[in-house]
Amino acid sequence: MDEPFVIVGGDAAGMSAASKAKREDPELEVIVLERGEWVSYAACGTPYYVKGEIEELSELVAVTPLEFREERDVDLRTQHEVVDVDPDSSTVTVLGEGERYELSYGTLLLSTGARAVEPPFEGMDREGVFTIHSLPEADAIDVFVADTAPETAAIVGGGYVGIEMAEALSARGIDVHLFEMLPHVLDPFGEAVAEAVEAHLAEQDVTLHLDTAVDGFVGRAADGGAQTDGAEEPATDGTVGGVRVAEEVYPADVAIVGVGVDPATELAEDAGIELGPTGAIATDQYGRTNVEDVFAAGDVAEATHVVTGEPVHVPLALTANRAGRAIGQTVTGDPTPVGETAGTAIVKAFDLGAARTGIVDEERAREAGFDPVSVTISAPSRPHYYPGGSKLTVTLLANAESGAVLGGSVVGEEGAKRIDTIATALQGGLTVADLQGTDLAYAPPFSPVWDPVLTAAKVLEGKLA
Amino acid sequence: MDEPFVIVGGDAAGMSAASKAKREDPELEVIVLERGEWVSYAACGTPYYVKGEIEELSELVAVTPLEFREERDVDLRTQHEVVDVDPDSSTVTVLGEGERYELSYGTLLLSTGARAVEPPFEGMDREGVFTIHSLPEADAIDVFVADTAPETAAIVGGGYVGIEMAEALSARGIDVHLFEMLPHVLDPFGEAVAEAVEAHLAEQDVTLHLDTAVDGFVGRAADGGAQTDGAEEPATDGTVGGVRVAEEVYPADVAIVGVGVDPATELAEDAGIELGPTGAIATDQYGRTNVEDVFAAGDVAEATHVVTGEPVHVPLALTANRAGRAIGQTVTGDPTPVGETAGTAIVKAFDLGAARTGIVDEERAREAGFDPVSVTISAPSRPHYYPGGSKLTVTLLANAESGAVLGGSVVGEEGAKRIDTIATALQGGLTVADLQGTDLAYAPPFSPVWDPVLTAAKVLEGKLA
């Protein structure tokens, strides 16, 4: 291959692909074009930076640009933005260092990621209103909190970003109100997790406003409180002072909007690359798009669900890393599937861990064509007599006819990582009977004889019989 | 069925079978004959009683005799010993309450358990020399330590009992010496675990004597130290004063011998019931012995290994509970396999957790007819930037030809329970590629993006390719 492997976007998927391709074929020219300053960073770590548990944002960078350039021999160009892709001529157009230039590619990887959704709220552009999906956004929140010492925060969105930011801002002494449009927080985790997390958030003095649509943000009144007259312009300055919900205004000295992410598909669409049903780029099992020599991976691309076989958009780090790595292998002559996703996710909510994998609620299972049966059980994470255990609540879903495990959730102070047992069962296509018969590890400091996941399987097996 | 379901031995397997049978068929008469006082107890908890973390031995009892009798309607007869089984007449002979009586059975379950091996050491009967496999033994050790305030302990055997007792006695301020005949402690856990645990034990001031066969125990000399003259009789009394190793004698004010357990097969052998190659009772997939209407389960019986399909003797609690429960179902008309075992085990060694499943060393894999490839990797349990993680060392073995996962081990201060991912992979017959592609849970407070088990799979996949 004479033409280079060109990668657009230098985070998890892009840098994994670059590193793997260079390792497999050191002769291959690999060029990464990243429009920002940062590459290969853990966006998932940003709430803990805001919380104050991580000192420097640079700690979130797994591999520095210098290491990519000097040790891995990747031609990494930060602050170079790709503004056009032309599959007919196999070129991309780049803006960087004040110049506009074209670059030919042999293979192209689009790993442009996703960006935080900016809902059309009134006052989204006020000072003190933030989204958070990148290191600069985390930095801006940290600086704003340090400078203005907010008393009250409004978090809009009860997904994992919202929950993590509630913990982070509470740790900085701020009174947190969390607004969620749906009846529950953490909707993709199912009801058992949501109820446990909601009860725990209340214990931690986070005020929950469920079933509550936010209309927008008002400015600060002259006395420092929130404007309540409904005027569009702030009385004093452009800084946020409150959050408007129907007829009410709650005070808020800072606001975080975390209502999801959208795949950054503009470049792909302009180049005639097909999107899938989720709105992300459609790919085959090798991460190929419909256009020759163009791959897509990470938060901009769809993945295949391990249970349903359907395309899904799961913008999570492991999926991105794995797909990037596989494409790096494929591009260098060893065709490697990008793998499937179970949508496995885990989140820390103060002292609770909450996790999910596969399909966790019956309604979604029916939509996917299954006849679901499910159980939710609570069991101790260690035997009653051993110090330090806590309650774990496990939900497990199966298909009635085949007995196949469809998914589940785990929530508790200790042991949420046990979701991995269920995720591995999904990967292996295990039935509930298989799972119930799995030889999991037992000793009193670690687990009861029947691990809570086994207990759930046992009870679900009884329901299936 | 008119004749009762008779169960010999009232611990994990026996009481699980009794409970399940009564739940499935409340009309069935279920009689449990237990020669001791205790039933349904967690022998695995005894080291933590000796350590002082559990106040009362009775806390180790999962279900009391009263609950079995009154709530579960089981005819539980403690301090009733079965002295003979006659399959021809379908009767057992019992000694209890000063009488000898016969009892007819429709179905018989032998769940007589195992007992601690008593090696033919000189001085095994000295006061202060203990084995530990039951609640009375734990109680005796606790009382002896409280009464005599030993300065030095000798632990013979570096298996999980030895390691747990080293922790327990150290916590009581005793200087512990641990003697192991083999070159490593925790031999079934493989070398990577053994080396990590040995280094940690040394840090905890446990003195290790590896490759060291113990000859026996000497008495206390008149001055309170160990006799060193080689005399068989103690100078002062029958209490242990030292442990003899070749030509040397190390002082020991208390000694624990934990060199394994033997299945209690005498009753079965006398009745003409076949033992398998391991010396435990041979059973089929439903737990049936070669004799009609006679089942065996728990520490007295063999189980089938999930990887090799061969009979093995794995005297562990989950295997016993699961087999008992399945037999309770089978006996009441719903034939249920007892399941297979992966030999999954986990042990706490002071601040370390160590775990194993399947086949963990190449030599044993070759003996079982495989062509093994293995890797050992170390990776952090959480991302480098997140507080509180520690190093996890993961060993993973696969068969070269098929790529099938054969087993593995995990050792570290945090996360040894991740062995369950490998155990589930064994249950599902996953290849290394399948395991590498499993969607495990990631968020900074719980795991790096690539869980250490995935990292091991990734590296092993590279070696297989």
**A141 contact partners, CB below 8 Å, separation of at least 6:** A50, A130, A132, A254, A256
The SS3 of residue B464 is helix
CB contact under 8 A, B53 and A423: no
d(CA A179, CA A200): 16
pLDDT score for B234: 45
Tell me if A427 and B435 make a contact (CB, 8 A cut-off): yes
pLDDT score for B226: 73
Asked if B39 and B11 touch (Cβ cutoff 8 Å), the reply is yes
Which CATH entry fits the domain spanning A5-115+261-341: 3.50.50.60, 3.40.640.10, 2.120.10.70, 3.30.230.10?
A: 3.50.50.60
Q: What is the DSSP string of B407-424?
A: EEEEEESS-GGGHHHHHH
Smallest CA–CA distance, residue B444 to chain A, in Å, is: 6
Contact A177, A226 (CB under 8 A): no
Query: Is A446 within 8 Å of B322 when comparing Cβ atoms?
Result: no
Answer whether A383 sits within 8 Å of B42, measured CB to CB. Answer: yes
Distance between B95 CA and the closest CA of chain A, angstroms: 32
Does residue B67 contact residue B76 with C-beta atoms inside 8 Å? no
Q: How many residues would you count in chain B?
A: 465
Active-site amino acid positions of A: 44
CB contact (8 A) between residue A344 and residue B441: yes
By Cβ distance, the residue of B387, B423, B465 closest to A441 is: B423
Residues A306, B439: C-beta atoms closer than 8 Å: yes
Q: In chain B, whose CA is at the least distance from the CA of A60?
A: B385
Tokens of A456: 């759930």
CATH number of this structure's domain A129-257, picked from the four choices 3.40.50.2300, 3.30.70.120, 3.40.50.700, 3.50.50.60: 3.50.50.60
**Whole-angstrom distance, CA of residue B163 vs CA of residue B176:** 10
Catalytic annotation, pick one of B42, B44, B57, B181: B44
pTM: 0.96
Rounded to the nearest angstrom, the minimum Cα separation between A255 and chain B is 23
Residue B164 is classified by DSSP as: H
Tell me the C-alpha distance between B333 and B353, whole Å: 41
Q: Which residues of chain A have pLDDT under 50?
A: 1, 234
**Among A113, A183, A216, A171, which residue's Cα sits nearest to residue A348?**
A171
A424 closest CB neighbour out of B45, B48, B428: B428
Residue A334 has a CB neighbour count (10 Å cut-off) of 13
User: Judging by DSSP bridges, how do beta strands A391-399 and A405-412 pair with one another?
Assistant: antiparallel
CB A158 within 8 A of CB A257: no
Plot region of A205 (φ>0 → left; ψ -120 to 50 → alpha; else → beta): left
Please say if B44 is a catalytic residue: yes
pLDDT of residue B222: 67
pLDDT of residue A247: 86
Which chain A residue lies closest to B160 (C-alpha atoms)? A443
pLDDT of residue B275: 98
Residue of B nearest to A414 (CA): B446
ipTM of the complex: 0.96
Q: What's the rounded Cα separation, in Å, for the pair A190 and A184? A: 9
The residue written with tokens 């004040």 in the block is A98
Quick one: pLDDT at residue A379? 97
Residue contact B427–A416, C-beta within 8 A: no
Judged by DSSP in three states, A129 sits in strand
Q: Which residues of B touch A344 (CB under 8 A)?
A: 439-442
Residues in chain A within 8 Å Cβ distance of B417: 415, 417-418, 441, 446-447
Cβ-Cβ contacts under 8 Å, B57 against chain A: none
Q: Which CATH number fits domain B351-464: 1.10.10.10, 3.50.50.60, 3.30.70.260, 3.40.50.620?
A: 3.50.50.60
User: Which residues in chain A are contacts of B12 at CB distance < 8 A?
Assistant: 449
- Cβ contacts (< 8 Å) between B418 and chain A: which residues? 417, 420
Query: Distances in Å between the alpha carbon of B257 and those of A128, A163, B163, B254?
Result: 67, 52, 11, 10
Tokens at residue A73, please?
A: 């021999």
Token code pair at residue A246: 């129907």
- Summarize pLDDT for B217-268 with one digit per residue, the tens: 999 876 667 776 555 554 556 999 999 999 899 999 999 999 999 999 999 9
Section B326-349 average pLDDT: 97
Strand blocks (E) in B143-219: 152-156, 175-179, 207-209, 216-219
Taking the C-alpha atoms of residue B213 and residue B191, their distance in angstroms, rounded to an integer, is: 20
Closest CB to A438: pick one of B42, B423, B465: B423
- Domain B129-256 class in CATH: alpha beta
Q: Are strands B303-305 and B340-341 parallel, antiparallel or unpaired?
A: parallel
Q: Say how far apart CA B268 and CA B254 lie, in whole Å.
A: 35
Residue with the two structure tokens 């260098």: A332
pLDDT digits (tens, 9 = 90+) for B299-308: 999 999 999 9
Residue A134: C-alpha distances to residues A253, A412, A430, B172 (Å): 22, 29, 38, 51
Beta carbons of A355 and B318 less than 8 Å apart: no
| Mean pLDDT to the nearest integer, B330-345 | 97
How many CA atoms does the CB half-sphere of A119 hold within 13 Å?
16
Give the closest residue to B341 by CA, choosing from B370, B377, B307, B300.
Answer: B307
Shortest alpha-carbon distance between residue A329 and chain B (Å): 11
Give CA torsion, residues B322, B327, B332, B336, to 10 deg.
Answer: 70
Question: Do residues A6 and A33 make contact, with C-beta atoms less than 8 angstroms apart?
Answer: yes
Spatial distance between the Cα atoms of A111 and A265, rounded to a whole number of angstroms: 10
Q: Which of A417, A426, A436 to mutate to test the interface with B (most CBs of B within 10 A)?
A: A417
CA distance linking residue A461 with residue A432, whole number of Å: 6
SS3 (DSSP) at B50: helix
Residue from B49, B64, B434, B438 whose CB has the most chain A CBs within 10 Å, to mutate: B438
Task: Decide if A312 contacts A407 (C-beta within 8 A).
Answer: no
Percentage of residues in chain A with pLDDT exceeding 90?
A: 92
User: Rg of the Cα trace of chain B?
Assistant: 24
How distant is the Cα of B205 from the closest Cα of chain A, in angstroms?
21
Q: Calculate how close chain A gets to B144, using CA atoms only, in Å.
A: 23
d(CA B242, CA B228): 9
Strand extents, DSSP E, A44-151: 75-78, 80-86, 91-96, 99-104, 107-110, 114-116, 129-131
> Which tens digits make up the pLDDT trace of A25-34?
999 999 999 9
The pLDDT of residue B64 is 92
The CA distance from A431 to A437, in Å, is 10
* H or E stretch covering A353: strand A352-358
The strand ranges marked E within B273-338 are: 294-296, 303-305, 311-312
Which chain B positions have a beta carbon within 8 Å of A385's beta carbon? 42, 45, 48, 54, 59-60
Portions of chain B given CATH number 3.50.50.60: 5-115+261-341, 129-256, 351-464
Query: How far is CA A271 from its chain centroid?
Result: 27
Contacts of B435 in chain A (CB under 8 A): 424, 427
Q: Given an 8 Å threshold on Cβ–Cβ distance, is B42 in contact with A443?
A: no
In percent, the amount of chain B with pLDDT more than 70 equals 97
pLDDT tens-place string over residues A367-403: 999 999 999 999 999 999 999 999 999 999 999 999 9
For residues B311-323, one letter each, b for 16 or more C-beta atoms within 10 angstroms of the residue's C-beta and e for the rest, the string is bbbbbbbbbbbbb
Q: What are phi and psi of A180, to 5 degrees?
A: -130, 130
Q: Check residue A234 and give its pLDDT.
A: 45
Stretch (H or E) spanning B129: strand B129-131
Which of chain A's residues have a Cβ under 8 Å away from the Cβ of B434? 427-428
* Single-letter code of the amino acid located at A289: T
Strand B254-257 versus strand B129-131 pairing type:
parallel
Subunit contact B345:A441, Cβ cutoff 8 A: yes
**How many A×B Cβ pairs under 8 Å?**
215
Query: Is B386 close to A54, i.e. CB distance below 8 A?
Result: yes
- Rounded-to-integer distance, Cα B233 and Cα B218, Å: 8
pLDDT computed for residue B41 by the predictor: 87
Distance from CA of B140 to the nearest CA of A (A): 20
Segments of chain A assigned to CATH 3.50.50.60: 5-115+261-341, 129-257, 351-464
- Residues in A touching B305 (Cβ below 8 Å): none
